[in-house]
Structure 1
Amino acid sequence: MKKISIIFTLCLLISSAFAQDLSKYEKQSFVLGTDTLKYRILYPENFDAKKQYPVVLFLHGRGESGNDNQKQLANGGKLFLSDNYRKNHPSIVIFPQCAEDSYWANVEIETVSNKRFFNFVKGGEPTKSMNLVLQFTDEFFKKPFVAQNQIYVGGLSMGGMGTFEILRRKPKTFAAAFSICGGDNPANAKKYKNVPLWIFHGGLDDVVNPQLTYSVFRELRKLGYEPKYTIYPKANHNSWDSTFAEPELMPWLFSHKK
């Protein structure tokens, strides 16, 4: 019983520490008419509004959609809280949350025999949640403490798709970007061909076919741009675990300035 009690106490301490870390992300919301975008924001340690900081916008996957302003931190939230990141890359990190009845990317999804097929739209109007992000970032990025030449975006799964989406809608905003297990219509690639991009995917992904990012990579090469492209041969859909463990990801991202 004593061992069980000790184990239970350790689990509580670990759970408490995890929650405490994530609590460093302040809860905020952006209201546009009758619509609301909930988001979490992490300011650098010893934040000084008189200084300027890089900004990282991170778009979560479908499983973290909702309105609790919490789930979007499940994958990636801890990455930006690490001592290494906080020390070497002091920046503002923003995790908006997509509504359950919306999507980051303008894509039609059809399920056949339990298999999902993604039809990415060329052009088209942004979804409700993406429109909120566009309006929010238009406003937030103008703040005096934002380093205009160091604004970045990244995301996983639905958020990886959203990364391509926001790049084509704001191609002059971001200094660099990374997309994990996402996808896009290759015809949209010309819109963001000049943005330094690192694309990741799991070779065994049975949720979002790796071909959906490879087609973007191939099109960008046709356009004369050579993005970074990493395939994890043995990874399934959760290739973000391998991506977050990449020691060069953040140094690469922050090495780019407009």
Structure 2
Amino acid sequence: MSAKLKTSIDTFIGDFGQMVETIRIAGLSGEVTAEDITLQECYTDCCATIASKGVLSVTQSGDVTEIKVEPFLYRIDFSVEVKGQTILKADIADITVRDEELFAKRIDGDVVYRLYEPKASAPRPLILFLHGGGECGSDNLLQLTGTIGAISLAKRFPDMFVLAPQAPDYGTTMQEFFAKLIATGDPFRVCVGAPTNISLGDRGWNRDYVGRVCDLIRKMIAEGRVDASRVYVIGMSMGGAGVITTVSSAPDLFAAAVPICPSMNGDSYPLLENWPDVPAYIATAYIDHQAGRHAYILRALTKLWESGRKDMKYTLFTPEELEAYGIFASPNLTEREIRAANHNSWVLVLHNEYGILDWMISHRK
């Protein structure tokens, strides 16, 4: 990229995470038209197979060229070519995220989190949002941008606190963590009694970390800011398993829980099978990349239902329901890609399909 070109982008959080909608480039000479611009690796769907329609409009003011595009996925390594000059994603340092400002940045000890605060002064309900495995770290941003989630909840329930902590990675990448799981057995099967992956220092929603997240909520309750009878927890994938771990860690704290496509393993399955007295609604796709997930969940819930628990609900989204949200079994996809796409079932929950969010906030302790 030419040193003269300074590039910024505007993004928002769509159903499949952070999406680019505007590109601004300073330092281009002469008139720039849509025909002068080529977008590479710019996709609109969760599987990164449908190309963006590209440039919608181009305007120029002074030395700044503003390019409006059909929104495309930020997570893919895209590039923009303008008049023979190529701008790589890695070259773009100035990135805005629509509605990020709704959430204050906070750190308490080594607990990194974002907090949306309602304007109401009386004690208000709180929703704890737990992100998935790809958003671990310490940048205090990925938990807002990686998927639809915290921002969507704050906009739907502006009268409630939304607490979005970021799970630690302790310097371990997702690939390294997965390799560790494989080394101790099949990470897609439930092996009760296998070495735990939620102990002190483990990447993700380990018991020590979620315990301290719960301490933050207790502090807000003690300060009179949060209604102790209306604290909820929701999360997806690794965060769905994190919901199970968190409720296990502090069952007295929550009025209701929504684990979405929770990872089923030797940690989460026995905790779910012995679920405490907290209403829960579990939702996932009819099948995804963990083929046995749905059977494990059903087996644990069946045990609870047979014991008389009527406050445990379970929904499997059908292919048609997923397709309505752009999560589809295209003939251009492999079976593995279809299953991976189906894992995005949290999109339906965050759009309140089956009234799952309404069900959650209707509960009081």
Q: TM-score range by the shorter chain?
A: 0.7 to 0.9
1:241 to 347, 355, 358: 347
Compute the displacement of 1:187 (Å): 5.4
Compute the displacement of 1:188 (Å): 4.8
How far does the alpha carbon of each residue in 1:9-50 deviate from its partner, in whole angstroms, 9 at most, with x for none? Answer: 33499999971302211100111xxxx010000012x242xx
Partner of 1:220: 304
Compute the displacement of 1:116 (Å): 3.1
1:185 aligns with 2:185: no
Q: Which has the higher helix share?
A: 1
What secondary structure is seen at the aligned counterpart in 2 of 1:166?
Answer: helix
1:64 aligns with 2:142: no
Change in CA separation of 1:13 and 1:246 when aligned onto 2, cut-off 3 Å: closer
Within 5 Å, give how 1:137-176 maps onto structure 2: 137-176=217-256
2:161 to 71, 79, 92: 92
Instruction: Determine what percentage of the aligned residue pairs are the same residue.
Output: 25
Larger Rg: 2
Within 5 Å, give how 1:188-199 maps onto structure 2: 188-192=272-276, 194-199=277-282
Question: Which sections of structure 1, spanning at least 5 residues, go unmatched?
Answer: 103-107
1:117 aligns with 2:188: yes
- Rounded to whole Å, the distance in 2 between the matches of 1:120 and 1:245 is 33
- Rounded to whole Å, the distance in 2 between the matches of 1:203 and 1:152 is 25
Compute the displacement of 1:185 (Å): 2.0
- Rounded to whole Å, the distance in 2 between the matches of 1:191 and 1:26 is 33
- Rounded to whole Å, the distance in 1 between the matches of 2:69 and 2:150 is 20
Partner of 1:30: 108
Question: Which sections of structure 2, spanning at least 5 residues, go unmatched?
Answer: 1-31, 35-54, 59-65, 75-93, 173-178, 200-205, 323-341
| TM-score, length-scaled by structure 2 | 0.58
- Rounded to whole Å, the distance in 2 between the matches of 1:187 and 1:251 is 25
What secondary structure is seen at the aligned counterpart in 2 of 1:99?
Answer: coil
1:204 to 270, 282, 287: 287
User: Is contact 1:21-1:81 (8 Å) kept?
Assistant: no
Partner of 2:113: 39
- State the superposition RMSD in angstroms: 3.2
User: Is contact 2:150-2:162 (8 Å) kept?
Assistant: no
Amino acid at match of 1:174: F
Q: Which stretch has the larger CA shift, 232-241 or 10-19?
A: 10-19
Amino acid at match of 1:41: L
1:2 aligns with 2:23: no
| TM-score, length-scaled by structure 1 | 0.80
Give the paired residue count. Answer: 240
What secondary structure is seen at the aligned counterpart in 1 of 2:211?
Answer: helix
Partner of 2:41: none
Partner of 1:133: 213
- Rounded to whole Å, the distance in 1 between the matches of 2:315 and 2:117 is 30
How far does the alpha carbon of each residue in 1:83-104 deviate from its partner, in whole angstroms, 9 at most, with x for none? Answer: x433xxx1000001001138xx
- Rounded to whole Å, the distance in 1 between the matches of 2:107 and 2:190 is 31
1:250 aligns with 2:357: yes
How far does the alpha carbon of each residue in 1:46-105 deviate from its partner, in whole angstroms, 9 at most, with x for none? Answer: 242xx11000001110001010000011320231243x433xxx1000001001138xxx
Query: Which structure ranks higher in relative contact order (CA pairs < 8 Å, sequence separation ≥ 6)?
Result: 1
Partner of 2:10: none
